[in-house]
Structure 1
Amino acid sequence: MTARDADNGLPGIASAPLRAQSHGDMQDFSSEQAGENLRNGDMPSAGKSILAFDHVSFAYGGGSHAGVQDISGGIETGEVILLCGDSGCGKTTITRLANGLAPHYFEGSLQGHVEVAGNDNAHTPLARIARRVGSVFQNPKSQFFTLNVTGELAFACENFEMSPEDIRSRIDGTAGDFRIESLLDRGIAQMSGGQKQRVACASVSTAEPQVLVLDEPSSNLDARSIADLRQIVRLWKKQGKTVLIAEHRLYWLDGLIDRAWYIADGRIAREMSAEQLHDLDVHERQTLGLRPVTGEQIVQTLGLTDRLTSCDETSWGAHSKDGAYRISDFSYTYQGQRVPALHIAGAELPQGMVTAVTGFNGAGKSTFARCLQGLDRRCHGTLIAPSGERLNRKRRLKACFTVLQDVNCELFTESVLYEVLLAQPQERRDAAVDILKQLDLQTYADRHPLSLSGGQKQRVAIAAAVASERPIIIFDEPTSGLDMRHMEQVAALIRRLADMGRTVVVVTHDAEFALAACDRNITISGGSIQDAYDLNAEGSRKLVEALVACAE
C-alpha cells in the first residue's frame, strides 16, 4: 500500500470506474445498461434496506489495520446515518465496505454480506458499485482527477459513458444546487479547503448515486464551510439520498441525522436515535468519548457556565510573568500581487501560554504561521524574544517547530519511534517512548507512520513536536481527525508544554479544542488582526459563537 492510500488518499469513488475499466470491469457497462439495471431491480423495494450489513467481519490483509466484527444493520432509503466512536474503532472500514473499496481495493478477509440496492458488493464489480455509491474522503484534494471544476464534475459521468448533452445538463443542475456556478472552469488547486469540499461533494453528486458516503468531512473546514456542508447534506436528504457519515465533530449534524451507530472495537456497540444522541448527559457522552452535539453543550462540557458567575476572571486571562514574544511589522505579499496578503503591525504571544489563531479560510492564518517560523523569504518582519533578542527569519527557523495540517508532508522515517527520535536534539530512546505512551502510540512504535489512520498520524507529528524541545511550537489544525478522548489528550499535552515555558500557537477552527487548550485568541481577517482577547468566560462564549453558531 502506498503512503497516499494509507490516509484515505484514494481517488473518489466517482473515479472508481476509471480504475475498474483498466481491469476490464467497464467493458460492458454503458450508461444505458446502468439505467436498465436500475429499472430491473437494482432499486430496493419499499421497506427494504438500500444498504444492508449482514454479520459482516473484515480483516485487512497483513494485519496493518484494525477491521470490523459481526456488523449487522440496515439503512433505509433517505436516511442519514452517523458513524461515531474513537479513532481506529472501525468507522472508516464500514465506509469502505459500503462503497466497495473493501475488499475490491483494500484486500482482506471478508465474512458476511454487504448489499447495496440488493446487490452483494463482494460479487459486484467496483465500477457498478460506483454507479450507486459516491464517496467524499477526509482530504478532498486526494480524490480530484482533473485541473478545473467543470472537468471534475464531468469526470464520473464521462466514465459512465453518458451523452454530452446529459453531462452538460447534470453539471448545470449540480452547480446550481451546490451554489458553485462561479467556480465552474476555475482551477481547483487555487481554491480554499471549503471550496474544494463543495466541489468534491458536487462531483460525486453529478452522477446521481443513491448512496453518499462521507469520511470525516468537516475535519479541515472553518465555520462557514461547515455551514455549507450542512446545507449539502440537507439537500441530499431532501432529494431522498441515503447518507452515511463517519464523523467526530457532531454539532453541525444536530437535526440532520436519523440514527447514530456508535462503533467500539470494530462492532456496533450501540444504536441511538437522533433524539437519544442529543439527550445524552455530559457524563454518559464523555464515557462514550463523544464530542458535544450543540454549541451550548461545548460550553457546558468545558465548565464555562460556572466560570460566568466566577468573580476571579482576571487570573484566567492574566499575562505570563515570563514576558511575551512581540511581533513587529509582519507582512507577506504573494508573487505577482501588489497588495499584501498579511500585514500585522504588532502583536504579543505570551511565553508559557497557548494562543489560538482563528478566522475563516483564506483569512491569512497559515500565512501568519509561515511568517512566524520564517519559512518563506518573502516574509518580512521581526520577532522579539522576551529577553529582547531580535529573531530574524533564520533564527526563527531554529526556534520554532511546526506541526503541519497535512502531516503526510512531515513524516519521514520507517517507524513511529524513529520519527520521534529524529526530532530530538539528542537521541534519548526512553524519553521518546514516554512521549509515545502519553499519546497512546506505544503499540504503534514499530509501525510505518504512513500506515496509520489520519488521527494516529496527527498524534505522531505532535509527539515529534514535543520531542524537539524548541521554545515556540506552532500547531496548524492539530485536531484534524481526532476523537474526543485524543483531542483532550492533545489539549492536555499542549497545556503541559505551556507549563514548561514553551510558547504555543494553535491555528484552529475547532472551538472545543481551543477552549480546552488555549489561554488567548487572536482572530485574523483579511490578513490583519481583527480581534484579540483572553479566553475567560466572556471570551470563550464569544469564540463559540464565532466558530460554531453559524454551522448549527
Structure 2
Amino acid sequence: MIRFERASFAYRPGAEAEEAGKVGDAGKAGVRDVSLEVRPGEVVVLCGRSGCGKSTLLRLANGLAPRFFPGRADGRVLLDGEEVGALSSWRVAERAGSLFQNPRTQFFNVDTTGEVAFALESAGWPEEAIRARVGATLRELGLEHLAGRSIFELSGGQRQKIAYASVWALRPPNLLLDEPTSNLDAPSIADIAAFVANAKAAGRAVLVAEHRLAWLSGVADTYVHLDGGRISRVMSAREFAALDPRELDSMGLRTRDLADVAPPASAVAPDGGVPPDSADDDRGGAGEIVLSARGLSVDYGRGPVVDGADVDLCAGQVVALVGRNGAGKTTLCRALCGLGRRARGTVLLDGRRATRGRRTRACSMVFQDIDYQLFAESAAAEVTFGLSRRAADAVDTGAVLRELALDGVADRHPATLSGGQKQRLAVAACVAAGKRVLVFDEPTSGIDLDGMRRVARLLRRLAARGRAVLVITHDLELIACACDRALHMDRGRIVARARAREDFDAVRAMTGAGAREGEE
C-alpha cells in the first residue's frame, strides 16, 4: 500500500529546474498538502500539466526526494505502513519498484539479461534462483527475444521494456511508474496495459504518472488531477470517462480514446498553428524535393536494420515516420542525415548525389535523448556552438532565442532547462546553422497536451519557412495536428505511405491505434 498523509515537498532552489518547468520556479515547484492512498489491487493515475507535481509524488514514494533531489519535505509518506524516510534504500527497493521516464537513468549493465538480474543480485539472491526468476520474468513479459542483447543496440522503446522487466523481477508489492509508455508503439502499449492489469490482479498497488491516458481505460480505478502541486480533483474511472471533452482540454489532459483523434476540420490547426497542406498532388502540395534516398540500407552485421528504403523529403512539408519499436526508424534517420558510416544506397540533396559530409552540413537531427547534443555553457552560446567565428558573428542569437521562446534563459546552463526548453534550444542551433532538413526523434515523448501542441506549431513554422521536416513518432495526436504525410516502416522497409489529412484512417492503422467505433 502507498499512502501520502498531508505530504509536501519543495525543491531546493536550483535542484530541480526540470520539474519546475519554467524559469524562476526552482525551489517553489513540488507538491503541497497531498493526502492520497493506493491500496493493494488498485491502479491510481496521476495526471495534469507538466510540472504539476506528478513525478515529485513518485520521488517521495521511492525515497529519491529528498535523498537524491534536495529539498524540504513535510507530512508523511508510507509504504506498507512504514515511513519511507525510516527505510534504508534497499528496503525501499524491495517494497516499491520504480520505472523512470528515461530508462537510461536506471541502467547499471550493458546487456539486457544482466540488467534484469541486477536487482536480484543486489538483494543477495542465489545464482540459480536469479537465473530462474530472470527467465520467468522475460517469458511473462514476452521479452525472450531481447535476452542477451547489448543495451546500446536496442531502440528507445525496447530499452524501456527491459527497464520494466528489471523492476518486475523482484515482484515488489508496490509499483511506481513514471510515463511508462512514453517511448512505446501501440502494440507495446497494449502489452504494458495487460501487464499492469495482471499486476493489479495479483494485488499490487500501482501508482502511475502519465500524460498518454488512452491505454489506462479499463485498467485504472482512480484518476487524480494535480494542479500547481495540489490535488484539484479525484475521480473514479466512471467519473473520468464521463468528462466533457472541453473539460478534459481545459485540464490540459490528452485524449482518453485514440479513436477520437482526427486532423482538425477547420483551415486553421489547433491554437493557431499552420494546418498541414491539403493540395491534391501526391506529395500534398509540398515544395521541391530537398532530400531523396533510394535503396538505402544499413547493416551492423546481424542482418539489415534498414533494408532498401526509399524516402523523399520536401520543402514545406512535415512527414511522420511511424512503425513498431525496433523497426529501424532512428537508424534510417541517422543515415539520411549522414550520421551512419554503414549506410549503402543513393542519397540526393537538391537532385545531386550527396556525400555524408554534405548531408551533415544540410541536415540536423534532434535526438530523443536531448542531453547528448547540448555542449555549451549557456543557452546563448549553444545557439552558435560549432559554427565558425564568422558564421557565429552573423547570427542574431537574441532573435533566434526569442523566436523559440527561450530569450529568458539565454544565460542559463542547458543542463538546468526543462526537457521542452532543451529541445527548442537544439532547434535554435539548427536554425542558426541554416539547416534545411530537420529530423525529430520522438519530440513529444512524456509531454502534456499543451507541450504537444507547442511542438506541433513549431514543426509547422519550420516547414512554412521552407524546411523539410521528418518526425519519428508514435503520437497519433501530433500527427493529426502537424503532419502532411506518413511513412510506415516495418523490419527496415518502408511498407506504406499515406497523406495525413486525406487518409487519416490509413495513418491510424499504421500506428496500430485502430479504427473509430463503428468503422471497419
TM-score normalised by length of structure 1: 0.82
The partner residue of 1:233 within 164, 188, 196 is: 196
Q: Which secondary structure does the structure 2 equivalent of 1:509 belong to?
A: coil
Structure 1: give runs of 5+ residues left out of the alignment.
1-49
Moved more, 312-321 or 391-400: 312-321
Equivalent AA in structure 2 for residue 433 of structure 1: L
The answer (yes or no) to whether the contact 1:133–1:212 under 8 Å persists in 2 is yes
Q: Which secondary structure does the structure 2 equivalent of 1:333 belong to?
A: strand
The partner residue of 1:482 within 447, 456, 466 is: 447
Mapping of 1:268-417 within 5 angstroms? 268-299=231-262, 302-303=264-265, 314-315=279-280, 319-320=284-285, 322-325=287-290, 327-336=292-301, 339-344=303-308, 346-386=310-350, 388-417=351-380
Cα distance in structure 2, aligned partners of 1:467 and 1:133 = 46
Moved more, 542-551 or 50-59: 542-551
The answer (yes or no) to whether the contact 1:285–1:291 under 8 Å persists in 2 is yes
Q: Which residue of 2 aligns with 1:116?
A: 79
Q: Which residue of 2 aligns with 1:56?
A: 7
Cα distance in structure 2, aligned partners of 1:468 and 1:286 = 37
Q: Which residue of 1 aligns with 2:273?
A: none
Equivalent AA in structure 2 for residue 373 of structure 1: C
TM superposition shift of 1:517? 0.8
The partner residue of 2:403 within 430, 435, 439 is: 435
Moved more, 505-514 or 61-70: 61-70
Mapping of 1:143-154 within 5 angstroms? 143-154=106-117
User: In 2 relative to 1, CA 302–254 (structure 1 residues): closer, same or farther, beyond 3 Å?
Assistant: farther
Equivalent AA in structure 2 for residue 56 of structure 1: A
Cα distance in structure 2, aligned partners of 1:270 and 1:258 = 14
Cα distance in structure 2, aligned partners of 1:289 and 1:88 = 12
TM superposition shift of 1:473? 1.1
Cα distance in structure 1, aligned partners of 2:440 and 2:183 = 13
The one-character-per-residue Cα deviations of 1:344-390 (angstroms, maximum 9, x if unpaired) are 4644222211111111122221122112111223323444445x444
Q: Which of the pair is proportionally richer in helix?
A: 1
The answer (yes or no) to whether the contact 1:214–1:244 under 8 Å persists in 2 is yes
The answer (yes or no) to whether the contact 1:328–1:383 under 8 Å persists in 2 is yes
Q: Which secondary structure does the structure 2 equivalent of 1:412 belong to?
A: coil
User: In 2 relative to 1, CA 483–501 (structure 1 residues): closer, same or farther, beyond 3 Å?
Assistant: same
* Identical pairs, percent: 42
TM superposition shift of 1:109? 0.9
Cα distance in structure 2, aligned partners of 1:138 and 1:524 = 25
Equivalent AA in structure 1 for residue 117 of structure 2: A
User: In 2 relative to 1, CA 247–465 (structure 1 residues): closer, same or farther, beyond 3 Å?
Assistant: farther
Cα distance in structure 1, aligned partners of 2:265 and 2:333 = 30
TM superposition shift of 1:551? 12
Q: Which residue of 2 aligns with 1:219?
A: 182
TM superposition shift of 1:514? 1.4
The one-character-per-residue Cα deviations of 1:63-92 (angstroms, maximum 9, x if unpaired) are 432222222222212211111122222111
User: In 2 relative to 1, CA 182–359 (structure 1 residues): closer, same or farther, beyond 3 Å?
Assistant: closer
User: In 2 relative to 1, CA 446–83 (structure 1 residues): closer, same or farther, beyond 3 Å?
Assistant: farther
The answer (yes or no) to whether the contact 1:328–1:344 under 8 Å persists in 2 is no
Cα distance in structure 1, aligned partners of 2:220 and 2:359 = 47
Structure 2: give runs of 5+ residues left out of the alignment.
17-28, 270-276
Q: Does 1:190 align with 2:153?
A: yes
Mapping of 1:487-506 within 5 angstroms? 487-506=452-471
Cα distance in structure 1, aligned partners of 2:278 and 2:316 = 19
Cα distance in structure 2, aligned partners of 1:333 and 1:429 = 37
The answer (yes or no) to whether the contact 1:153–1:203 under 8 Å persists in 2 is yes
The answer (yes or no) to whether the contact 2:259–2:513 under 8 Å persists in 1 is no
TM superposition shift of 1:392? 2.9
Q: Which residue of 2 aligns with 1:542?
A: 506
Cα distance in structure 2, aligned partners of 1:487 and 1:218 = 15
Cα distance in structure 2, aligned partners of 1:53 and 1:491 = 37
Q: Which residue of 2 aligns with 1:31?
A: none
Cα distance in structure 2, aligned partners of 1:111 and 1:457 = 31
TM superposition shift of 1:327? 1.9
Cα distance in structure 1, aligned partners of 2:431 and 2:243 = 35
Equivalent AA in structure 2 for residue 525 of structure 1: D
For these two proteins, the number of residue pairs brought into alignment is 491
Q: Which secondary structure does the structure 2 equivalent of 1:492 belong to?
A: helix
TM-score normalised by length of structure 2: 0.86
Q: Which secondary structure does the structure 2 equivalent of 1:368 belong to?
A: helix
User: In 2 relative to 1, CA 296–135 (structure 1 residues): closer, same or farther, beyond 3 Å?
Assistant: same
